[in-house]
Structures are given as C-alpha cells and as structure tokens.
Chain A
Amino acid sequence: MIKTKAWFRLTLILSLIMGMSLVLAACGDPTPTTAPTTTTTTAKTTTAAAATTSSATTAAAATTAGATTTAASATTAASAAPSGTLTIALAFDLQGLDPVMTYSLNNGRWQQNVFSTLIYRNTDLKIVEGAGLATSWKYVDDKTLTMQLRKGVKFHDGEDFNADAVVFTFTRLLDPANKSPQRFNYTSIDHVDKVDDYNVKFIFKDVDPVMIVKLAGYGAAIVPPKFVQEKGNDFVNQTNIPGTGPFKIVEYKKDNSLTLEAFDGYFGDQKPKLKKIVYRIIPDEATRLAEFLSGGVDILTVTPSQSDSAKAAKGRKVQVVGVPTVSGIRLDTSKPPTDNLKIRQAIAASIDTNTIVGSLLNGYAIPMAIWQSPFSFGYDDSLKPYGFDLNKAKQLVADSGVPNPKIVYNYIAQSAQDKEIGLAVKSMIEKSGIQVELKPKEQATFYDDYRAGKLDNAVPFGWGGWTLDADNTYYSLYYTKESYNPAYTNPQVDNLLTAQRSTTDQTKRKEAFTQINKLIYADYPDVMLYQQQYLWGITDRVKDFTPPPDERLWLLNVSVTDNK
C-alpha cells in the first residue's frame, strides 16, 4: 500500500505540474495584463478636426469629398430600410452626452453620428464646403464671419434647426457658468448674432485662423434650444439629448453601453444603413480582445501586441491607419548637459529610431522629423528624420567639451512600453559616451511635474493636436514658458508663432511654419520622433468601414452583411 507521505508528494508534484501548465498557458497567450491603454496616458491627443483650406477668406478651395460625405452630391439615397446592429468597443465611459462637456478623445467614436456641426470634415480630414449645417461662409474681415445655414433640417425631437439654435449653442458653450472644458477652444468668439432665421454672424475678440477647423469640432455641435432649456443640463448630459445627425440616442447606461438608432429624418442625401449601433464600454484591453474574438464586438482598436491574435482569428481582420499623434523624446534645453547643442545632436545621432519602431512597436509607427504628422497644416516633408550615425555621435560628444556627460531619462512607471523604449534608448545613447540614468516617475503626477519643469533631461512625450494645424502643437510645445514647454526658448520662434496666430492668411502662415520648422529642427529640442499608427480590428460582417486617422467614426455608410 502506498504510504501517506508518498501520496502527499505525488499530489504535490501533480499540482505543481498543473500549476505550471496554467502559468505557461497564460504566458503563451498574447493577451497582455491590465496595463492602462495608451490612447490617453502617453499621448496628449485630443478631439480631432480638419486641415484648413488654403484660403481663409472664402472656403473656395473645397477639396474632394470622401465616399462618406453627405454633401449636395448626385448620389441618390439608398431606399432600403436600415437594418442590422453594429457593436463597437469603447475603452472609457462617455462620462456625458452633452457636447459642451466633452473633453476626451473617446467621444469621437460616437458624437458625430448624433450631432452635426456647422462645418463638416470628412474621413480624409478635408473640409467639405456646404456639407455641414452651414451651406456657405465668408470672412467679412478678420474678426467677422458670416454663415448661411441649411434649411429643412430637424433635430431628433422634431425641433427645427435655424439661427436661434446656433446662437443658443454658442452662448451656452461660452457661458462660464456651464464650466465647459471645451469653452477654451472657442474663447476667440465674442458672441454670435442672428441676422435672420438662416443667417448668423460670428463676432470675434481675437483673430483666430483656426476657427473654421474648430467649428467642425465637438464643442461646436449644434444642440436644440427648446429641449435643452426644458430638460436642463443634467438630463441632457446624463440621459438623452437630440442632435441633427443620422443616428439618435436611444439609451445611455453608464459604464455599460450607449445605444443609437437610425434617424429617418436625417437631412443628408445618404440615409443611414444600420438600424442600431451599440457602443459597449469595456475598460480592460484583454477583455476587449476576448469580446472581439467571441463575436461580442465588431470594431475596436487593438494594441500592437494584440494584433497577431486579432489577425489570426477567423472572420476578422486588422487595418492600420496613421494618426495625428506624434511621439518622441523631449530634451530639456536648460539643464546640463542637454543645454549643450552638440550633446543634443549626439543623442539624436545615437538613437536608431527605425530599430525602435521595428522591434518595440511591431513596425506600427513612422519616423518623423518634426512634431507634426503629414495630416497637419504646417507639415514640412522636406525635413528628414535625424539620421542614426554612431560615429558622428561619438565625435559630437568629444567636440562638445562636456567631460563625462550624464543624463537622466524619466518615463511613466506604469507603462510597460515606455519602460522598454527607455531601456533600448539608454543602451543606444550610452554607446556614444553619454551615461544614461533611467528614473521612472508616477503616472498621476508625470505631466504636472513636466509642465512645472521638475522632470529631468529626457522625457518621452506624445501630442496629437486635434485641429491638425501646427499652431496647436507648436504654441504649447515651443513658445517660451507655454503650457507644455518648461525649457525651450528661441525668440525668433516666439515671434513667428505670434505672427502666424494673428492672421487668417494661410499662405503667410505656411511661410511662418516653414521657417519655424527649420529653426526648431536646427535646435534639436526633440529626438526620436515617430507618428503613431492605430490598429483597428474589424469583423468580416462589417461593410464599407474605413478606419479614420483621427478616431472619429463616421458610420452613415456602414452596414452589416447579415442584417442581424
């Protein structure tokens, strides 16, 4: 008979084997641990808008519409009744339905299907004149903008869209009592006058060359005056609010889902094809992938490490799209030794950005030369990313006159990806002769410390600039002592930034940006820049869905093959 002790040992061994196989099974599966999603922690991306047209006086240079515009096009509307349900995953709760209370990028996934704006920007990020609620507009002078409004548009609750709605929307947005996080994007507007039922006039306090673009943004979504006044701000933010978009809100369950339904009174020529859209709020990225693989979700964004599982699954595909967010490492030009230009140049030459992108980002990024993506107004493709040249780097260190240079590199402690990149960058820079100390910092205080200048020589950073106009990024990152610029200062850049802000002449602004780009490029305040790419997981039942570069989903044209 086997003795007890032997049984014990046998059981222990079997349990250990079982335990190890469970561990190995979990490790082998590429679902990551519950790390915070990277969309809002490292990237300071915000709500998105469009590239400006080349002339600011009239929107004459209307660019080609994408397949999804609702403009006065010749295509006739689909006559089939809307059918089928599409399910989309959201990583964060909406936190509110009211456009003026919006502040997160997440909202781009649903808002423009419910609300319309005066100016419409299509999925190619181009403004399409006349496709929004304003059929035309004109700058009478730098501080006066007149707009002609579309007729025959109804809100989801039956109210008419007209000048009263526009005046109400902007008065409410600009009223400090409403504490709108969007207000600050529109403070150049003094007030809006009603000229007649279908004509309005914007009067500006300051010249704002980016305003046309901003009017395509979330804060400027037009809301129904009667409904909002009757129901009050709380109801409108937490329960329901009508818009003029192709889909209306059916139900919002906090931390659970948002359900939309096709609106048959939509003003566009193209009518919605889907009957229902459900946004499911799933905060954990492993769970989101599991839902995608089990059919609980049709569309979601996946991380580079999840892309293989998503691609390998039957009936599913992954599409890659470049986004406006650019990431990189900011060097502090006021702290030694990075206050020395040659040291900064050496750092730039010692980092092999292509390798970092290839091995740590699975190739899902494109090296950049400046802190703007190709989508932006102000982008300059004549500048090339700083090249990788180790010998040049070593020479620069020797020439710098700094004996035994050492830098401190901060990164967000909770980000596994930031840590990996930090380790790779450290080993690269050290080959040039500069010592690197890695110091992780707490996520919650990282950006506050950065803005206060409390971080060290090298800091990884990301910025999107939702207006897709270099003004947004450059002002905050390069103007002396501005919100995200604790150290860099160049009086010439400051003057050029001020100059481009005070004119609506896009040609002059483009010239200013060309010079600004050259000056900044020569100063080396930032290195290892790359444009991020997002990966969208899509099930095969979804038709005509184009992943947008700015995360704003436009679902008018989308349908599902099984009509379920």
Chain B
Amino acid sequence: MLRYILKRLLNALLVLLGLSLIVFITLRLTGDPVAMLLQAGSPSKSDIAEMRRLLDLDQPLPIQYVSFVGKALTGDFGRSFHYSTPALGLVLERMPATLTLTLSAMAVALVLAFPLGIISALNRGKFLDFVSQTISLLGVSMPNFWFGILLILIFGVSLQWLPVSGSDGPEYLIMPSIALGIPLMAVLARILRSSMLEVLNADYIRTARSKGLAKSTVIIRHSVRNALIPVVTIIGLQFGTLLGGAVIVETVFSWPGIGRLAVDSIGSRDYPVVQASVLLLGAILVIVNLIIDILYTVIDPRIGYK
C-alpha cells in the first residue's frame, strides 16, 4: 500500500508539472499585465518597458518558465503584481475559506442525497421515486449562480432570515453551501439510486432477506455499503466541479476564497497569483482523488493495491 501511495504521489508531481506548463503558457497569451497596472495614468511606451523589466517579464519565455518552476519547488511563487505580497501566502490565506465552503457544500449534498437516493431506490416506480427524481432533475438543471441569487432574493431580501453576503459568522455559510451543494446532491442521488437498484437485485441481498434480517439491517449494512463504490468515485470526480462552482458561488456571496482570488487575478493578469492558485487547486484535487482511491479499500476489502 505504501508503495502504491508513493507511486501515486510521484505521478501527482508529473501532473502538476504539466499543469504548470499549461497555465504558464495560457496566461502569457492573455495579454500584458503591465498595461493593467499602469492604467492609472498615461504611460509612455518606455514607462511600460521599464515596468516589464522591473517585474522580470522582459526575459525570454523558456527562461521565465524554468525560473518559475525552480522557485516554485522551493515554495516561492513570486510576488503578486497587484498586492505586492508573496503569491503563495495570498492563496494559502484564502484556502481555509474555500475548503470550508466546499466541505459544507459536500455535507449538504451528502445529507440530502442519501435519503433521496435510498428512498428513490426502495420505492422504485412509485410516486416517491418520481418526486425525488424530479428534485434531482431540477437540482442538476439550475445554474448555481442563478440559484444563489434566487436564494439571496428570497431569504436575504424578502424574508431577511439570512445575511445576503459576506463571511462574518456561521450563518453566512448557509446559503452559499446550499447553492453549491444542491447540484452535487442531484447527481449523487441519481447515482446512488442506480447503484442501489443494482445491489438490491443481487443474490446476497435475497439471501440476507430470506435469512430473516430486519429491513433496516439489509438496507444499511448490506445494500448501501455495497452501493457506495460508484458514489465515492463520483464524489472524487465531482470535487473538481465543486471547486469550480465555488468560484462562482464565492463571487455571488462575496465569500473570500481562492476561487474569487483566482478569477480576479485572471482579470487583472496577476500572473504569480493565478499560477499559485491553479497549482494549489490542482494539488488539492490530486490529493482528494488519492484519498478516494484509498477509501475504496476500506469500503470494499476485495480491492487492494500493489
């Protein structure tokens, strides 16, 4: 198992290296960051050239890339052009906020998806099944920025039950988690339903029922656990989508996370911050998928790694 983990980590490093090249090249195709910085005035061409030199942007691209990778390996992602503080520090500062939001959204999704998926599977073909399938359809069809604004209008403006935006307390987390979690809930509920239906038809379930086991034992101990593998796979894959959705939800709810920082930095072409954000998010994704893979061995003892 340890060898497996080490192999995966090495793999992860290669993935991140490839990611660094992609983000490096793409950023430099988007335009000149110096012009953004010098918009407060009427800079002459020589002013612009000098600023480029001060920011080390006048070097040939391969040299800039090698320098960037070399420094990144020591944890130095350069200084933000706009905040003039170390880029990695900025990103790490925002990480707790994004992780809080993402994990809360995940919790919302799981808490709602499990009953929905299980009820749906157990009542296949009946009214409850169709209600929950419809809820899933709605959840997956709604764009999360639209849903977020709708929640704000209803609970923030009309009813004034919840604060509209910001991050000054736990009540501020409620609406953003729901806005981000509902689409994931919809996907998970549907996967769980299909997976459960497959399991419920298996021989060992028939055996368990014929043994006279209580219905709840059959469902929880035997069916759900076996139905979990595809669901856990989807959670791992969807985590990336969740992080992406966090970008939009963070903007709508003024939640101070990495997503918002990344979007603002792309708009203002703050190269160091974009690079640091993308690589850190990439690293998180890689680690989450590794955890998921290890989780399989817990859920299903038949699965093992060499």
Q: Contact mask B14-58 → A, CB, 8 Å, 1/0?
A: 000000000000000011100111111111110110110011000
Dominant SS among interface residues on chain B? helix
CB atoms of B149 and A15 under 8 A apart: no
Partner-binding segment picked from B80-88, B184-192, B209-217: B80-88
Are the C-beta atoms of B38 and A184 separated by less than 8 Å? Answer: yes
Cα–Cα distance between A102 and B37 once the two chains are bound (Å): 9
Please tell me if B153 contacts chain A, counting CB pairs below 8 Å.
yes
Q: Is A254 an interface residue (CB 8 A)?
A: yes
Tell me if B235 is interfacial: C-beta within 8 Å of chain A. no
Which chain B residues lie closer than 8 Å to A122 at the CB level? none
Q: Which of A275-283, A317-325, A417-425, A505-513 contacts its partner?
A: A275-283
Query: Which chain B residue shows the least CB distance to A31?
Result: B149
* B contact residues around A254 at 8 Å (CB): 83, 90, 93, 256
- Does residue A93 face the partner (Cβ distance < 8 Å to B)? yes
Chain A residue total in the interface (Cβ 8 A): 72
Looking across the interface, which residue of chain B has its beta carbon closest to that of A8?
B130
With A26-B150, A179-B55 in contact, is A46–B41 under 8 Å at CB? yes
- Judge whether B134 is part of the interface by a CB distance below 8 angstroms: yes
Residue contact A282 to B254, C-beta cutoff 8 Å = yes
Complex: chain B residue closest to A104, CB-CB: B40
State how many angstroms separate the Cβ of A333 from the closest Cβ of chain B: 20
Number of residues of chain B lying within 8 A (CB) of chain A: 63
Interface membership of B152, Cβ < 8 A: yes
* Contact present for A96 and B47 (CB under 8 Å): no
Q: Are B130 and A234 in contact (CB under 8 A)?
A: no
Give the interface segment out of A165-173, A285-293, A353-361: A285-293
The segment from A72-80, A191-199, A444-452, A519-527 that touches chain B is A444-452
15-51 of chain A: CB within 8 A of chain B:
15, 18-19, 22, 25-26, 29, 31, 33-34, 36, 40, 44, 46-47
Choice from B39, B152, B254, B266 contacting A280 with Cβ under 8 Å: B254
Known: A254-B93, A255-B260. A96 touches B39 (CB 8 A): no
Write the chain A residue with the least CB distance to B45.
A483
Q: Does A238 sit within 8 A of B, measured CB to CB?
A: yes
Point out the residues of chain B lying under 8 angstroms from A466, CB to CB: 40-41
Q: Any chain B CB within 8 A of the CB of A181? A: yes
Alpha-carbon separation in the docked complex, A26 to B40 (Å): 38
Question: Is A472 an interface residue when CB atoms closer than 8 A count as contact?
Answer: yes
Q: Find out whether the CB atom of B84 lies under 8 angstroms from the CB atom of A7.
A: no
Residue from B43, B167, B256 in contact with A184 in the complex, judged by beta carbons closer than 8 Å:
B43
Distance A7 CA – B50 CA, assembled complex (angstroms): 72
A96-B83, A181-B37 given; A294·B267 CB < 8 A: no
A179-B55, A447-B35, A472-B42 known; A256+B30 contact, CB < 8 A = no
**Between-chain CB contacts (< 8 Å), 16 pairs:** A11-B131, A31-B153, A96-B83, A103-B38, A104-B39, A176-B54, A184-B38, A233-B84, A256-B254, A284-B252, A290-B157, A447-B31, A448-B35, A451-B35, A473-B42, A483-B45
Give 9 nearest A-B pairs by CB, closest first: A255-B256, A185-B41, A448-B31, A103-B40, A444-B30, A46-B40, A184-B47, A15-B134, A181-B37
Given contacts A182-B40, A448-B31, 12 further A-B contacts (CB under 8 A): A33-B146, A34-B252, A103-B37, A254-B90, A254-B93, A256-B254, A280-B254, A444-B31, A472-B41, A483-B42, A483-B44, A483-B48
